[in-house]
Structure 1
Amino acid sequence: MPTFVRQRSVIFVVLIASVTIGIVLRFVNLDTMIYWGDEVYSSIRIFGYTTQEIYQTVAHGQPIPATVLQQFQQVGRHHNLGDTIRTLAIEDAHITPLYFLVARLWAMLFGSSISSIRSLSALFGVALLPAVYWLGIELFKQRRIALCSTALVAIAPVQLLYAQEARMYELWVLLIVITGATLLRAIRRPSWRSWGGFSLMLSASLYSHFLAAIPLAGYGLYTVVLHYRNRPILKRFLLSSTIGILSFCPWIWVFLMRQVVEQEDGTQKPFSLIEAVKNWFSLFRRLFIDVNTTVSGSSLIAAIALVVISGFCLAIVDLAIYRLRQETPMAVWLFIGLLIFGLPMSLFGESLHGVLPSRYLLPSYVGLQLAIGYLIGSRLTHNNAVRRWIWSSSLVALVTIGLISCASNVQANTWWNKGFSECNPATAAIINQSPRPLVISDGTGGPFFDHGLSNIISLARLVKPTTQFQVTLEPNYLDLDQGNFSDRFIFTPSDNLRQWLVSQYGKNMSPVLKLTHPYRGSDICLWRLSDAGFALANDAAATNSRRDAVPSHPQSPN
């Protein structure tokens, strides 16, 4: 008995320490990771700028300093909270406004620096932990299981990753979890106050992300299946849900009235079964281990270790789902099952093209962590000492793997989720070595969203303020014979710009940096234009000019 009590105390300390470390890690090195293109657009929307405004200011083909690009990442003198809503309604109606309004108010209080903007997501990430604990209590009625689930969320690498990103996803998963907890509480202790709280949280969830509709529909299915004979509960649920949905109708109207423009983002891939399997494997592996590498990109020993650890983690997931179904009442396993599988099943088609981002599965991850929390937490008090030791060791192993991944993450300046901005830190380091650099690039020209332009602004945050940028949407009108620059760099050019530069400068364009994944039709993210190539192009242009300037001889009269 003393050994059993001592073991329980050690496990309790491990769980509390995991939660505490997870909270601290969410605020560590908030400004270290690259502020990538999607986060740049978050700031653009938060501060009420439109893509067309940015085009008019920067995409005219004339050299401008980095500070001009950076001005769209801070509060503007002539842009207010209303502009935040207006620009979303005009250019991004498919994105709901709650996060951006809260972030605008946050920036007014704490500033627009990277740390300030990201700290809001970190705060949502911290709030997620007590929300998960509350949901665990509502489901399992055991603090030990709820605490296990909370600890797993706290040290999950994928949860930490999005808790340090200036996007809406951490607010979204927080509200989904709170909405689920308020629903269970309203069913357990029905009162108009409880159902009013559920209605309010349902509305907030919808305003946090359109994808909230999927887990919320799962909550509805759960309530109808379990309580279709309990008319008072069913009536209150339907009334509360109707009020919550009606409150979201204004933004539904904005969405339906939006101007639809087809844009190619360059991320769609052809169908590949192998890629789809690899995608799903990576999606669930990152719930436990994420060292920003793949099996194919690792050494043999590292690849074997990654496969073994991933296999252990996936085995835990499979066993957790199986035991949850076998050992818990329908009121528990149905709720968690719908939370786990609702989003993956709805978005399965996207994964077949290898483009399903892990951020869309954050609520599913919480469902898995609740299932694993039950599997381990319910066995920490097993009468058999050997089994108790096995499950205690499994918990310690999962916590250790998660903490190693999290520690690696918070020290890095880029990660797999930074997409097309992954090479920006290395690019900036090269550009900053030049005394008078010129960075040449172009936007996609998209009327509402321009990932090329957002990536340029992301780079502008990293280079010296005096670095000059020459940005265009029409490469044929790009005049490079301006200014006295020590180096001319070409940054992630489009196919059109790259072809135009090759036609003008030929072999004098040399690749400098490669991407892990191709972007804008190339795996090269940085090129250098040599002075020789620039001189040759200028000589050719001058020769053509002189030839055009020779007057033609007048014809002799007959």
Structure 2
Amino acid sequence: MPDSSKTIQKKHDDLFFNSFKLLTVVLIVIGILIRFINLDEKITWADETFTYLRIYGYTKSDLMQEVVNSQILTAGTLLQKYQSPGVGKSIIDTVKGLALEDPKHPPLYFVMTNLWVQCFGSTVAATRSFSAFISLLVFPALYWLCQELFQSKIVGLVAIAIIAVSPFHLVYAQEARMYSFSTLNILLSSAALLRAIRLHTKSSWSIYSITLLIGLYTNLLFSLVAIGQGIYVAVNQELRTRKILIAYLSALLAGILAFLPWLFLIITQTDKVQETIRWSKLIVPLNNLVDLWQINWARIFFDITSKSSYSDQLQNNVWFLIIRLLVILLFYAVYFLCRKTPKSTWSFILILILLTALAQAIPDLIFGGIRSIIIRYSIPVYLGCHLAVAYLLAQKAILSPYMNMRKHLWRLLLLGLISLQIISCLIILPKKTWWNKAYNSDNIPIVNIIKQSPNPLIICLKCGRDWGWGNVLSISYLLEPQTKFQLFPETNIKEIPDTFTDVFFLNASEKLQDTLKKEQGLNIGLVFKHNLSLWKLKK
């Protein structure tokens, strides 16, 4: 290539790179802003109500006492008693409640959120802002991991640009659950391991051991990441030196030993843990699994529906075409990664993706279940895909030494993906509910019906279960504080008060309808039905 052509190419490359650096700064600013916009406008869904229950030191046993008593309670009373700081409650109560009733959720996120609300307030926005703040720490953690993996600032820059406005990370940054914290832990632990291998110092291995401990005490699924890191050390021959192995095993053992007390609780309460995840064994057709895998993989860039899946008529139109093109891009990115990077790099990312994906998909395919399509269970998979795509785009659009039409097309693709992400985020921001809260999205139309009654009573049967309480507390956030509830453990309603203008039933079963008709001569009619249902007493 003539010197003049090289000079022109270098100027073009420098111009694009400098422009992209400026764009990344703008995207980071946008990413910060969108994480804190409308935090209190999103529906508080069932899992979040249990976050509030736990961080304030209440227990499900406390809730059950209300069901046993079957007294009439107001929405305001329920929120005050079980969704707000209580007198005499402390962090010890938070840990104790989880240990006794829900050991599948380690306590670190709940303890940290407790401390956060003590500093910044207990409103919904303040509580969710902890996840939003933690999601900002993901940016430098991702950049650090890219440095350790690729030794490239440019790959790190592209990775941050993508994650800053990723709709997938936005929805969890605005939720009072541990998933943004889990994302941070995965990135920190991964970078800490690679750094420890590179430096091989006591302090670097100690830092890695601490990240293991933090990850395990945040989310049990982090154990798959830890196992994957062990596989990574085992399959890379250059890492299997005696000193590296001893240091790694020592760090791993220290992290596991510190986690043993909580692991003991999980093992001794296996039946309780299995009961709380029984819903994940729901069987769905194989074609639905495949469709949802594609949709979920594409959510890094493209997310325009508030439903957990697209309706059938969308499968042949432009939206599903975009999703499939994004899936092809992800597969190509992994292929390109394996071809162009050393084994120590591509094997790390491949293990990060495949271990979690296969550990959940294989049981679903053999025994049935929906574990592999619960997107919050597969955060390591999407982080691995994110890294692969960031490397591909950085190499093709910026680092390639050739200036040709292909390079221009890759640059357009990079900008196009970012545009898709921004459009998705703009669609998500004003919505009160999204697919991550889909379980309780029906509560909005249900509440709109109830609000039309001047003095309603809402009756919940079999309300001692998580889904019943989660619905009741979620609905309480949307209703006027004086709205009345009556909660029963089973269908044995002895008497329905006649002092209310309307009596509504949440998810009334056929057994309840028969019981009301035979024992009290009462009929109820369906007024709303989707995933959840609302029934009304006929007068």
Q: Provide the TM-score with structure 2 as the length reference.
A: 0.91
In structure 2, C-alpha distance between the alignment counterparts of 1:116 and 1:229, rounded to whole Å: 47
* Corresponding residue for residue 448 of structure 2: 429
Which residue is 2:536 aligned to?
A: 528
Deviation at 1:492, TM superposition (A): 2.6
Q: Which moved more, 1:33-42 or 1:259-268?
A: 259-268
- Out of 428, 438, 444, the position equivalent to 1:419 is 438
Q: Residue 58 of structure 1 contacts residue 69 of structure 1 at CA under 8 Å; is this kept in 2?
A: no
SS for the counterpart of 1:77 is coil
- Aligned twin of 1:4: 13
Deviates more, 1:203-212 or 1:347-356: 347-356
For residue 481 of structure 1, what is the amino acid of its counterpart?
Answer: P
Distance 1:62 1:104, change over 3 A: same
- Determine if contact 2:508/2:535 at 8 Å carries over to the other structure: no
Q: Could you say which residue in structure 1 is the equivalent of 2:417?
A: 398
| 2:3 match | none
Assess if the C-alpha contact under 8 Å between 2:77 and 2:481 holds in 1. no
For residues 14-413 of structure 1, the aligned pairs below 5 Å read 14-70=23-79, 71-226=81-236, 227-258=238-269, 260-261=271-272, 263=275, 268-292=281-305, 293=307, 297=311, 304-348=317-361, 349-350=363-364, 352-355=368-371, 356-381=373-398, 382=400, 383-413=402-432
Distance of 1:94 and 1:166 partners within structure 2: 17
User: Could you tell me whether the CA contact under 8 Å between 1:18 and 1:151 is conserved in 2?
Assistant: yes
Once the two structures are overlaid, the 10-residue window that deviates more, 113-122 or 270-279, is 270-279
Q: Is the 8 A contact 1:444 1:494 kept in 2?
A: no
Q: Report the residue type matching 1:127 in the other structure.
A: L
CA distance in 2, matches of 1:313, 1:270: 27
Post-superposition offset of 1:4: 3.2
Q: Percent identity?
A: 32
Q: Aligned AA for 1:362?
A: I
* Corresponding letter in the other structure for 2:252: S
Within the alignment, does 1:480 sit opposite 2:491 as a pair?
Answer: no
Q: CA RMSD in A?
A: 2.2
Which structure has the larger Rg?
Answer: 1
**Distance between the aligned counterparts of 2:521 and 2:198, measured in 1?**
73
**Unpaired runs of 5+ in structure 2?**
1-7
Kept in 1, the 8 Å contact 2:129–2:174? The answer is yes
CA distance in structure 2 between the partners assigned to 1:471 and 1:495 by the alignment: 18
The structural deviation recorded for 1:490 is 1.4
Cα deviation for residue 107 of structure 1 reads 1.6
**In the alignment, is the contact (CA less than 8 A) between 1:492 and 1:525 conserved in 2?**
yes
1:283-317 deviation line (CA, Å, top 9, x unaligned): 212222111257863766x9612112112211210
Matched residues, number: 519
| Structure 1 runs, 4 residues or longer, greater than 4 Å off | 264-267, 293-296, 502-508
SS at match of 1:475: coil
Say if 2:280 and 2:369, in contact at 8 Å, map to a contact too: no
Q: Are the counterparts in 1 of residues 308 and 435 from structure 2 also a CA contact under 8 Å?
A: no
CA contact (8 A) 2:197 2:239 kept: no
Take 2:351 and 2:290, find their aligned partners in 1: how far apart are those partners?
22
- Give the Å deviation of 1:505: 7.4
Cα shift at 1:166: 0.9
The one-letter amino acid of 2:364's match is: E
Between the aligned partners of 1:444 and 1:464, the Cα distance in structure 2 is 21
Residues 104 and 350 of structure 1: CA distance in aligned 2, closer, same or farther (over 3 Å): farther
- Residue number in structure 2 paired with 1:538: none
What amino acid sits opposite 1:241 in the alignment?
Answer: L
After TM superposition, give the deviation of residue 224 of structure 1 in Å: 2.5
| 1:232 counterpart letter in structure 2 | K
Q: Which runs of 5+ in 1 are unaligned?
A: 519-523, 533-558
Return the TM-score normalized by structure 1.
0.88
Separation in 2, partners of 1:346, 1:259: 19
Contact 1:179 1:198 in 2 (8 A): yes
State the partner residue of 1:455.
471
Q: 209-218 vs 420-429, which deviates more?
A: 420-429
Give the helix-richer structure, 1 or 2.
Answer: 2
